[in-house]
Amino acid sequence: MATEFDNFHEMRHCALLANKVFIQRDYSQGTACRFQTKFPLELNSRMEQALFAETVKTLNSYYAEAEEIGGQSYLEGCLACATAYIIFLCLETRYEKVLKKISGYIQEQNEKIYAPRGLLLTDPTERGMRVIEISVFEDHCSGSSSPSSSCNGSSSSAMSGDCGTR
Amino acid sequence: MKNCEYQQIDLEALSTPAPTPSPQPVTENGKKKEKTAKKHRRKWEVFKGKNRFCCDGRIIMARQSGVLPLTLGLILVTSVLFFIFDCPFLVQHLTVCIPVIGGALFVFVVITLVQTSFSDPGILPRATPDEAADVEKQIDDAGNTTYRPPPRTREVLINQQAVKLKYCFTCKMFRPPRTSHCSLCDNCVERFDHHCPWVGNCVGKRNYRFFYTFIVSLSFLTAFIFGCVTTHLALTSEQERIIQELNWVAANVQLLKLVICFFSVWSILGLSGFHTYLVASNLTTNEDIKGSWSGKSGAEAATNPYSHRNIFINCCSVLCGPMPPSLIDRRGFLSAEEEEAAPQAIGREVELPALASKKDINVGTKCVSEESPARPPSRPPDRCGERTGHNPVVNSDTARDNRMAARGARHTPAARGVGGDAHTHHHAKAHHKRTQRGAKSALDGPGGTRASSPSLGRSSKDRKNAGSPPPLP
């Protein structure tokens, strides 16, 4: 997580946050954690569809692995019940282990694929598992103008929420 | 003559002002140094829901503890009296296993109760401003031109079953399926079951298994104590009984335990039975009351899309499934951007009720609009870091529905046969006990507004009417 912020700050030195794209959850198979694999149009000019699909599919498979109801989860559940769930305070659950794997994967993807394209993936855990947030950065140093540069000013203050209110 | 000594005032010292600190360079490094000098705030300190936090964010509770002290008190008192008055006799006449079993059950009950009350039920953090803006854009793109927008819903197909996702005006997001907004805690809770005043917390995805284990083990404990007390009475010989009757303390204690256990056994067994049914069919109390999947709501025949169609698998998935982690990260430190955003965010929310109330004509909940304005988030924490978060943002009509459902849940599911009668009976007993307490109100949270308590007070009076939901405010 520290390196993600470093990336973020490094980017901000010569890049401005232009836009944020949100990949929503896919509930077609129930309440399990899955994200839509539909390619957002805003990223059309930024990256290849195949790479994006690969990222989302891998994330979905990780979440499916974390939420898998099988032998290990039953064992964990029964053992926890027998110990009045105190074991959850002592040991790391399988879900937490997989979440750590996921954050490592996202970091790796950011370094290898997304950062070179001026994008930044945010771990869904930081957004309540609701969305995958992809921040789109505009290269400020090279002086390239883009259609979305007009909302740079408002987007940069997006954190203060001025852009969000109507 | 007095010897007055005059000291010469050093005029130079007076004229020169105190040395000013060297101006800090306004760079990111400088800002970081300032921030490290200041105490880093944790996320629980700026949490927007109506929750109370203790021990620097390790413990989370609802703002109103409900009747949790009563629940704990009843369990403790009954168990202690059992150990003092019945165990010696039964160990002598029967077996030493009795206090061992009783002790194990008692410990189990208390631990699961504490875990249910003090853990995060599955609260969904509110949408960030960017997310909220993105959702608003999507809704507006759908071609909304009327002044009063239609209720914001989104339909999804879950296992070939159409499910409507409602938009939460407080949390600014479309609620995931099975998520509901608890108006008492002012949070969206995943797989929301009900808000239980007995444990003083919501029951949701993360703590449902603790709650279920609590009620099952409590029913075992009360049945066990009831059985032991009855056995004790049956085994006492005639002579001993006469002696006991002279000792009115012992006699009254036996009677008290019998009464508490008798009523508890029926009501808690009923509640356990009801929740066993819910677990086996992978339903929540909220869905059961609303009749989402039984066609009560008037829609065409709907089946529960979350059920695995197998009782065993349903039970395992609910009780033995993987434990999801808490999403609100209450002990995490705020990042620099969040620190800047936090005070401003609260400031914005104070303006919102004026805007939102124009749009949401459905709302009409007077008690919400009359709530006092938001307290600043940086209230100094008192004793063990306790803090109440407060958010005056208007509840939507959906939140009002949830409050109705929550109230209904507390009365519980009316016509469930023995379970339902037992539960309302249980509440009637609780109400009776509460009125005996007099002025001490278990529902009054520290420093909180009384906006929600009138509704609770009203509902407690209505409990006399065997579980009928009170009229809306």
Q: Decide: B120 and A88 in contact? Cβ < 8 Å.
A: no
- A131 with B131: Cβ contact below 8 A: yes
Residue B362 pLDDT = 44
Residue B64 pLDDT = 78
A97 touches chain B (CB under 8 A): no
Residue from A159, A160, A162 whose CB has the most chain B CBs within 10 Å, to mutate? A159
Alpha carbon separation from A162 to A156, B268, B339 (Å, rounded): 10, 51, 16
Count the residues in chain B: 473
Chain A, residues 130-149, CB within 8 A of chain B, namely: 130-131, 133
Residue B21 pLDDT = 45
Q: Decide: B289 and B405 in contact? Cβ < 8 Å.
A: yes
Q: Decide: B363 and B133 in contact? Cβ < 8 Å.
A: no
Q: B447 phi and psi, to 5 degrees? A: 70, 10
Share of chain B above pLDDT 70, in %: 57
pLDDT over threshold 50, residue A135: yes
Chain B, residues 204-263, CB within 8 A of chain A, namely: 209-210, 213
Residue B444 pLDDT = 39
Q: Taking CA B187 as the corner, what is the angle to CA B185 and CA B191, rounded to the nearest 5 degrees?
A: 110
pLDDT over threshold 80, residue A146: no
Nearest by CB to A164, from B133, B323, B327: name it.
Answer: B133
Q: pLDDT tens-digit profile of B168-218?
A: 888 888 899 899 999 888 989 999 999 999 999 999 999 999 999 999 999
Residue B188 pLDDT = 92
Interatomic CA distance for residues B46 and B39, integer angstroms: 14
DSSP string, B363-385: T--HHHHTSPPPPPS-PPPBTTT
Name the band, by pLDDT with cuts 50, 70 and 90, for residue A4.
low
Interatomic CA distance for residues A46 and A119, integer angstroms: 8
B431 burial type by CB count under 10 A (0-12 exposed, 13-18 middle, 19+ buried): middle
Interatomic CA distance for residues A139 and B340, integer angstroms: 25
Q: Decide: B141 and B249 in contact? Cβ < 8 Å.
A: no
Residue A72 pLDDT = 82
Q: One-letter amino acid identity for B439?
A: A
CA-wise closest residue to B261 among B93, B427, B426: B426
Alpha carbon separation from B255 to A11, B82, B97, B452 (Å, rounded): 74, 12, 24, 37
Q: Record the tokens describing residue B454, joined without a space.
A: 């009138």
Residue B304 pLDDT = 81
Chain A, residues 49-78, CB within 8 A of chain B, namely: 66-69, 73-74, 76-78
Residue B401 pLDDT = 43
Task: Name the residue with higher pLDDT: A115 or B34.
Answer: A115
User: One digit per residue, pLDDT tens: chain B, 473 residues?
Assistant: 445 555 555 555 454 444 444 444 444 454 444 444 456 777 877 788 888 888 887 888 888 777 899 999 999 999 998 998 888 888 888 888 899 999 999 999 999 999 999 999 999 998 888 888 888 877 776 555 555 455 578 888 888 888 888 888 888 888 998 999 998 889 899 999 999 999 999 999 999 999 999 999 999 999 999 999 888 888 876 666 666 666 777 777 778 888 888 888 899 999 999 999 999 999 899 888 888 777 655 555 577 888 888 888 888 888 888 888 888 877 777 777 667 766 544 444 344 444 444 444 444 444 444 444 444 444 444 444 444 444 444 344 444 444 444 444 444 443 344 444 444 444 434 444 444 444 344 333 343 333 333 333 333 333 333 344 444 43
Residue B388 pLDDT = 42
A25 touches chain B (CB under 8 A): yes
Q: One-letter amino acid identity for A56?
A: V
Q: Decide: B64 and B184 in contact? Cβ < 8 Å.
A: yes
Q: pLDDT tens-digit profile of B316-344?
A: 888 888 888 888 877 777 777 667 766 54
Q: Decide: A104 and B346 in contact? Cβ < 8 Å.
A: no
Q: pLDDT tens-digit profile of B68-122?
A: 999 999 999 999 989 988 888 888 888 888 999 999 999 999 999 999 999 999 9
Q: Decide: B442 and B434 in contact? Cβ < 8 Å.
A: yes
According to DSSP, the β-strands at B153-158 and B161-168 are antiparallel
- A30 with B213: Cβ contact below 8 A: no
ipTM confidence: 0.76
Task: Name the residue with higher pLDDT: A146 or A130.
Answer: A130
Rounded to the nearest angstrom, the minimum Cα separation between B240 and chain A is: 40
Within 13 Å, how many C-alpha atoms sit on residue B398's CB side?
Answer: 22
Residue B334 pLDDT = 75
A129 touches chain B (CB under 8 A): yes
